[in-house]
């Protein structure tokens, strides 16, 4: 089934709506060679990627009522980067940045339809495969499969991408246990993708009752009255996305179930870690727990979806449990970092050469308690047409969202220290900051070709079940 004839939910219309919400008008730093020097024995690498996972729902510093003991103990064993930012508000481009250490306009996967990961950019899995690792990956959404060039470098694995209902975490976890049972002497690279935090928020028992108080279906005003009101929810048109809320009246229910999804996936993180420990592999394995984007839970007039690059969507979890040979000095790092930093960090930590000219920078120095002179540009990209897009840049406490809609640029500027919830556009009050940040964006992007020098790649195909699932998740219509 072709994706070409479908339409997208994150469309020009949404960008226009978002920009007009604020209304008003206005007009990468290349990295050098970085090589590691200290010899370390080969270590295994495990990436645990939790889709749609908000970093402020890990239960680490905020919302202590959320039970995620396994994530907590992984963080205690390693380093928690409490302000890690992704590069796009949805799955494909974010994971492609994780895989390649590049911004979307460079790695080429920013559009669900015509673009894939650029084959010229090596992926993390390819680099490990080329360096003698045994590689395997298990994914739960079509965007991470062959159709989008995201399978490259994985020697084994599977996709659990057509499960319209129910959870897929158990399939991923069981696959991981089989992969790590190999008698091979080679080190391994294992990528695990968990989708069970993503909407619909329908965790299995007993998690489905974990944070719910009372009867969410008791008589009252249906929650859908509010969620499907376009004056309240910019994603209200996505009716299929909200079917799971049929009959619910308790407005706290969705957030409770989102948190329950976190606890459920945490139990799988625990199973993966226990399995590694039982096999004597934990100490010598580098484990990265990371998210691809967060979720709007009503913030910015968007309910139970990830659509725009506000902080609730851009901030993602990043926890690194280092191998025992690594001298980790810092347990929590608050400096802002990027999902693009994961690739150079992992390579440096396992003593493999880091490719030149990545947009991401290694975080190894920071974890060792040293100052790092390099920091990634905190840029996020969204949009699929040169006439309608949004580029976001964060510098210190300032964050600029620069929308282009119908030939006009609309800047939205926040001071994240004064206004962490991003409720006041102060672009008009701080034109110097706005212009400075916009100029930095235009050092990276050409306004006329804002998605880089890409070409349209071959038509994608996904099977009927996958297409149905993507529709039910609101990705396509
Ligand atoms: Zn995602």
CATH number of the domain bearing residue 49 = 3.40.720.10
Dist. CA 432 → ligand 1 center (Å): 35
Dist. CA 338 → ligand 1 center (Å): 16
User: Does residue 383 lie in a domain region?
Assistant: no
Question: Using CA atoms, how far apart are residues 247 and 194, in angstroms rounded to an integer?
Answer: 28
**Residue 409, phi then psi, degrees to nearest 5:** -100, 135
Q: What's the pLDDT at 165?
A: 63
Dist. CA 179 → ligand 1 center (Å): 24
The closest of 251, 247, 169, 163 to 207, measured between CA atoms, is: 169
Dist. CA 294 → ligand 1 center (Å): 8
Q: 153 near 128, Cβ under 8 Å? A: yes
Domain containing 135: what range? 42-377+447-472
Per-residue burial over 143-179, b if 16 or more Cβ lie within 10 Å, else e, is bbbebbbbbbbbeebebbbbeeeebbbeebbebbeeb
**pLDDT band at 467; cut points 50, 70, 90:** confident
User: Does residue 336 lie in a domain region?
Assistant: yes
pLDDT, tens digit, for every residue of 392-442?
999 999 999 999 998 899 999 999 999 999 999 999 999 999 999 999 999
Distances (CA, A) of 202 to 209, 252, 292, 427, 472: 10, 14, 20, 40, 14
Average of per-residue pLDDT across 221-227: 95
Average of per-residue pLDDT across 220-242: 93
Contacts of 398 (CB under 8 A, 6+ apart): 413, 414, 415, 416, 430, 433, 437
Dist. CA 36 → ligand 1 center (Å): 32
- Residue 475's CB is within 10 A of a number of other CB atoms, namely 23
Q: What's the pLDDT at 32?
A: 37
Average of per-residue pLDDT across 319-336: 93
Dist. CA 295 → ligand 1 center (Å): 9
Dist. CA 371 → ligand 1 center (Å): 32
Dist. CA 5 → ligand 1 center (Å): 22
Question: Using CA atoms, how far apart are residues 157 and 81, in angstroms rounded to an integer?
Answer: 29
Average of per-residue pLDDT across 305-315: 96
User: Does residue 390 lie in a domain region?
Assistant: no
Question: Using CA atoms, how far apart are residues 181 and 276, in angstroms rounded to an integer?
Answer: 10
**pLDDT band at 30; cut points 50, 70, 90:** very low
Dist. CA 199 → ligand 1 center (Å): 10
Q: What's the pLDDT at 472?
A: 79
Q: 357 near 30, Cβ under 8 Å? A: yes
Dist. CA 196 → ligand 1 center (Å): 11
**pLDDT band at 247; cut points 50, 70, 90:** very high
Q: Mean pLDDT across the chain, nearest whole number?
A: 88
Dist. CA 22 → ligand 1 center (Å): 26
The closest of 317, 241, 304 to 68, measured between CA atoms, is: 317
- What is the share, in percent, of the chain residues with pLDDT greater than 70? 88
Point out the least confidently predicted range of 8-12, 101-105, 246-250, 275-279: 8-12
H or E element that contains 436: helix 431-444
User: Does residue 357 lie in a domain region?
Assistant: yes
Dist. CA 468 → ligand 1 center (Å): 17
User: Does residue 467 lie in a domain region?
Assistant: yes
User: Does residue 15 lie in a domain region?
Assistant: no
pLDDT tops 50 at residue 33? no
What single DSSP character describes residue 2?
B
Residues around ion ligand 1, judged by CB within 5 A, are 51, 91, 292
Distances (CA, A) of 316 to 107, 272, 280, 294: 20, 21, 30, 6
Dist. CA 217 → ligand 1 center (Å): 29
- What is the share, in percent, of the chain residues with pLDDT greater than 90? 69
- The answer to whether the pTM exceeds 0.75 is yes
Cis-peptide into 206, omega within 30 deg: yes
Q: What's the pLDDT at 374?
A: 82
In total, how many domains does the chain have? 1
Dist. CA 293 → ligand 1 center (Å): 6
Contacts of 124 (CB under 8 A, 6+ apart): 47, 98, 99, 100, 153, 189, 191, 342, 343, 346
Of residues 448 and 337, more confidently modeled: 337
User: Does residue 409 lie in a domain region?
Assistant: no
Dist. CA 319 → ligand 1 center (Å): 18
Q: What's the pLDDT at 34?
A: 42
- For β-strands 296-297 and 84-85, DSSP reports them as unpaired
Q: Which of 4-8, 310-314, 326-330, 463-467 has the highest mean pLDDT?
A: 310-314
Dist. CA 276 → ligand 1 center (Å): 26
pLDDT tops 90 at residue 295? yes
User: Does residue 439 lie in a domain region?
Assistant: no
Q: 192 near 176, Cβ under 8 Å? A: yes
**pLDDT band at 169; cut points 50, 70, 90:** very high
Dist. CA 278 → ligand 1 center (Å): 31
Dist. CA 94 → ligand 1 center (Å): 8
Question: Using CA atoms, how far apart are residues 196 and 70, in angstroms rounded to an integer?
Answer: 16
**pLDDT band at 454; cut points 50, 70, 90:** low
Q: What's the pLDDT at 460?
A: 60
Dist. CA 144 → ligand 1 center (Å): 10
Q: What's the pLDDT at 23?
A: 54
**pLDDT band at 11; cut points 50, 70, 90:** low
């Amino acid at each position: 089934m072709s994706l070409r004839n479908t339409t997208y939910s994150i469309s020009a219309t949404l960008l226009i709506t978002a920009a007009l919400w604020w209304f008003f008008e206005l007009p990468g730093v290349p990295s050098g060679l970085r090589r590691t020097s200290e010899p370390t024995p080969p270590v295994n690498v495990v990436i645990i990627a939790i889709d749609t996972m908000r970093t402020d729902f890990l239960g680490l510093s905020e919302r202590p009522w959320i039970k995620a003991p396994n994530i907590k103990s992984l963080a205690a064993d390693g380093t928690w980067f409490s302000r890690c930012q992704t590069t796009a508000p949805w799955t494909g481009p974010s994971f492609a940045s994780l895989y390649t250490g590049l911004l979307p306009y460079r790695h080429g996967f920013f559009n669900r339809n015509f673009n894939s990961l650029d084959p010229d950019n090596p992926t993390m899995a390819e680099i490990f495969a080329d360096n003698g690792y045994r590689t395997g990956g298990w994914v739960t959404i079509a965007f991470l499969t062959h159709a989008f060039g995201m399978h490259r470098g994985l020697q084994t694995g599977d996709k659990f991408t057509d499960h319209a209902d129910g959870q897929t975490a158990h399939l991923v976890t069981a696959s991981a246990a089989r992969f790590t049972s190999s008698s091979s002497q080679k080190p391994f690279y294992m990528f695990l993708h968990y989708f069970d935090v993503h909407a619909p928020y329908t965790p299995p028992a007993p998690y489905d009752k974990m944070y719910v108080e009372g009867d969410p279906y008791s008589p009252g005003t249906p929650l859908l009255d509010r969620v499907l009101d376009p004056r309240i929810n910019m994603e209200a048109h996505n009716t299929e996305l909200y079917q799971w809320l049929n009959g619910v009246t308790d407005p706290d229910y969705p957030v409770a179930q989102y948190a329950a999804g976190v606890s459920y996936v945490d139990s799988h993180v625990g199973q993966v870690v226990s399995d590694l420990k039982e096999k004597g592999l934990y100490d010598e394995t580098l484990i990265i727990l990371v998210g691809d984007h967060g979720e709007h839970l009503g913030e910015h007039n968007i309910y139970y979806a990830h659509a725009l690059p506000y902080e609730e969507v851009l901030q993602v979890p990043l926890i690194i449990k280092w191998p025992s040979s690594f001298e980790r000095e810092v347990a929590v790092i608050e400096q802002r970092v990027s999902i693009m930093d994961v690739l150079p960090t992992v390579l440096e930590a396992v003593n493999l050469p880091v490719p030149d000219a990545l947009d991401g920078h290694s975080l190894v120095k920071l974890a060792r308690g040293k100052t790092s002179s390099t920091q990634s540009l905190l840029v996020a990209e969204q949009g699929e047409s040169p006439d309608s897009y949004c580029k976001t840049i964060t510098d210190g406490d300032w964050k600029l969202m620069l929308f282009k809609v119908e030939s006009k640029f609309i800047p939205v500027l926040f001071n994240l220290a004064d206004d962490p919830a991003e409720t006041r556009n102060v672009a008009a009050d701080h034109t110097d900051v706005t212009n400075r940040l916009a100029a930095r964006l235009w050092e990276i992007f050409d306004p006329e070709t804002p998605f880089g020098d890409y070409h349209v790649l071959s038509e994608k195909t996904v099977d009927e079940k996958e297409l149905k699932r993507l529709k039910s998740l609101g990705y396509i219509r």
